[in-house]
């Protein structure tokens, strides 16, 4: 039996059967809430962009150090790894993201971000935690506090990972490359939460199997032959080639892909030309390409290059287009058995009606890399919308501000408290005596 298989077998046997403390009480969470709320507001007020999370990382490291964790910083960039050993047993890792987004906050909150900084291109940009990473960090610190306070009720090793650069889908890979699974106790399971506007606060969603898509950012350049707009016969117009190519790319999804396998090809930018009567020499396009299965991903990328090359040749272009994948991330795959077990563990804590199966999404998260590196992982989605507002929006059809929006703001108290209950319960399900 392999190490992973043995671990999953243990999860389904009697090792946990007699444990009386399988989750924190709401009273224990309530007692921590004022401190966790203060941390959350501080993180929200002081966001940092990907690869620049120095102060954020230091805040988490200091708190974990005070709790007795062994701390290592600058792992894969600004990554923080905290190790809390508590006797023999499995090792469970929890991931929380450090970085924020270049978004101008318009929530009007008293703790709203007013931070501006220069991005890697030297351009001044606003910064906001518009994806809830501040919530994830605060919840994870709350989980660490509960586990540190109750070491008599669990055994094994708890691994806290503060991951940089999730928004650039590079942080997880960087930490793994820097020895996350070799320099530190290798986890038997990896867990994380992600806030969601698809549920009201107090609910949690689980998705066995594929939960979020792989994603590829693809840059394409089409080369033509420029000239005067009044004499198109003397040119090879790359704008026309681009227009035909964009339409043809959509037939990859509609005519080459199995309708049972989700796939998306979106052209996000197109740049070509400088004046209305000049045909340019080239046109640049940027795409996002998404799917779940590896075989679908490979076909989409191959077909994108095949189609643009053929369209350019049909137009008489002398130079072949260039197609470059500039960044990519794999699909998030929740280990089905582990997902079901952790979801079931939430039912006595939150109530069965508050633990719901959710459909997979076409957004992406580099949490996928931890599973791809050989460790079963689970991502649960945490409702973050005020319940009354959510119900009103459902009835009226109002579209609430979503993730990456300038107006996105979780409802702090129920989101933070539910997050601590969910995350600590998941860890205890794997480590409880």
Q: What is the CATH number of the domain that holds 266?
A: 3.30.70.360
What is the reported pTM? Answer: 0.91
Residue 374 has pLDDT above 50, yes or no: yes
**Average pLDDT for 350-355:** 97
169-196 pLDDT, tens digit per residue, is: 999 999 999 999 999 999 999 999 999 9
**Average pLDDT for 246-250:** 98
CA distance 119 to 99: 13
Residue 269 has pLDDT above 70, yes or no: yes
Residue 263 has pLDDT above 70, yes or no: yes
Regarding whether 346 and 399 lie in a shared domain, the answer is yes
Q: Which CATH number characterizes residue 149's domain?
A: 3.40.630.10
Give φ, ψ of 123 to 5 degrees: -90, 135
**Helix, strand, coil shares, percent, the chain, to 5:** 40, 25, 35
C-alpha of 61 from chain center? 21
- DSSP H helical ranges for 325-375: 336-350, 368-372
Q: Which of 308, 329, 350 is the last residue of a domain?
A: 329
Q: Which of 271, 304, 329 is the last residue of a domain?
A: 329
Transcribe 21-54 into DSSP letters. Answer: -SS--HHHHHHHHHHHHHHHHHHHHS--BTT--H
Regarding whether 347 and 286 lie in a shared domain, the answer is no
Cβ atoms within 10 Å of 272's Cβ, excluding its own = 20
Identify the band that residue 1 occupies on the pLDDT scale cut at 50, 70 and 90. very low
CA distance 356 to 319: 53
- Give the per-residue pLDDT at 22: 77
Regarding whether 312 and 189 lie in a shared domain, the answer is no
CA distance 421 to 407: 26
Regarding whether 365 and 263 lie in a shared domain, the answer is no
398: annotated active-site residue: no
Write down the catalytic residue from 99, 195, 282, 423: 99
State which residues form the domain around 398: 3-212+331-431
- Give the per-residue pLDDT at 433: 73
Regarding whether 325 and 292 lie in a shared domain, the answer is yes
126-164 pLDDT, tens digit per residue, is: 999 999 999 999 999 999 999 999 999 999 999 999 999
Q: Which of 306, 329, 352 is the last residue of a domain?
A: 329
Give, in order, the Cα–Cα distances in Å from 149 to each of 28, 102, 139, 278. 10, 37, 15, 70
Regarding whether 310 and 298 lie in a shared domain, the answer is yes
Regarding whether 338 and 276 lie in a shared domain, the answer is no
Total domains in the fold of the chain: 2
Give φ, ψ of 130 to 5 degrees: -95, 5
CA distance 389 to 410: 11
Regarding whether 187 and 43 lie in a shared domain, the answer is yes
304-336 pLDDT, tens digit per residue, is: 999 999 999 999 999 999 999 999 999 999 999
Per the listing, tokens 């047993």 go with 89
- Give the per-residue pLDDT at 20: 47
Regarding whether 222 and 314 lie in a shared domain, the answer is yes
Q: What is the mean pLDDT of the chain?
A: 95
**Average pLDDT for 378-400:** 96
**Average pLDDT for 408-430:** 97
Contact 424, 11 (CB under 8 A): no
Regarding whether 207 and 150 lie in a shared domain, the answer is yes
Identify the band that residue 21 occupies on the pLDDT scale cut at 50, 70 and 90. low
Regarding whether 237 and 340 lie in a shared domain, the answer is no
Residue 205 has pLDDT above 50, yes or no: yes
CA distance 102 to 111: 17
Contact 196, 383 (CB under 8 A): yes
219: annotated active-site residue: no
Regarding whether 272 and 351 lie in a shared domain, the answer is no
C-alpha of 86 from chain center? 29
Write down the catalytic residue from 166, 188, 195, 282: 166
């Amino acid at each position: 039996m392999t190490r992973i298989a043995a671990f999953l077998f243990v999860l389904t046997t009697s090792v946990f059967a007699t444990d009386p403390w399988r989750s924190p009480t709401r009273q224990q969470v309530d007692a921590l809430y004022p401190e966790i709320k203060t941390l959350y507001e501080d993180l929200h007020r002081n966001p940092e962009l990907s690869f620049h999370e120095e102060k954020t990382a230091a805040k988490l490291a200091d708190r974990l150090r005070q709790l007795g964790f062994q701390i290592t910083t600058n792992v894969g960039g600004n990554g923080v790894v905290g190790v809390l050993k508590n006797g023999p047993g499995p090792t469970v890792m929890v991931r929380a993201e450090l970085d924020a987004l270049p978004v101008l906050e318009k929530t009007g909150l008293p703790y709203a971000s007013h931070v501006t900084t220069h991005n890697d291109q030297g351009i001044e940009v606003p910064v906001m935690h518009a994806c809830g990473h501040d919530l994830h960090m605060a919840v994870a610190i709350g989980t660490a506090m509960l586990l540190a306070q109750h070491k008599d009720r669990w055994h094994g090793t708890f691994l806290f990972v503060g991951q940089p650069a999730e928004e650039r889908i590079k942080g997880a890979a960087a930490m793994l490359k820097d020895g996350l699974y070799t320099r530190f106790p290798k986890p038997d399971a990896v867990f994380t939460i992600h806030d969601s506007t698809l549920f009201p606060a107090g609910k949690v969603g689980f998705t066995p199997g594929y939960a979020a898509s792989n994603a590829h950012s693809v840059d394409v350049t089409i080369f033509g032959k420029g000239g005067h707009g009044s004499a198109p016969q003397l040119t090879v117009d790359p704008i026309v080639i681009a227009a035909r190519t964009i339409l043809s790319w959509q037939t990859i999804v509609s005519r080459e892909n199995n309708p049972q396998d989700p796939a998306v090809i979106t052209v996000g930018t197109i740049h070509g030309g400088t004046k209305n009567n000049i045909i340019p020499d080239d046109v640049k396009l940027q795409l996002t390409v998404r799917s779940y299965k590896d075989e679908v991903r490979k076909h989409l990328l191959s077909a994108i290059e095949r189609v643009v090359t053929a369209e350019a040749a049909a137009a008489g272009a002398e130079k072949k287009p260039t197609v470059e994948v500039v960044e990519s991330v794999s699909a998030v795959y929740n280990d089905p058995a582990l997902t079901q077990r952790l979801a079931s563990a939430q039912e006595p804590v939150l109530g069965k009606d508050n633990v719901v199966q959710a459909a997979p999404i076409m957004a992406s998260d580099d949490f996928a890399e931890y599973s791809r590196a050989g460790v079963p992982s689970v991502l649960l989605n945490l409702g973050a919308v005020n319940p009354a507002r959510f119900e009103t929006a459902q009835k009226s059809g109002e579209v609430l501000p979503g993730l990456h929006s300038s107006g996105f703001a979780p409802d702090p108290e129920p989101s933070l408290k539910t997050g601590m209950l969910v995350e600590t319960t998941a860890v205890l399900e794997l480590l409880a005596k």
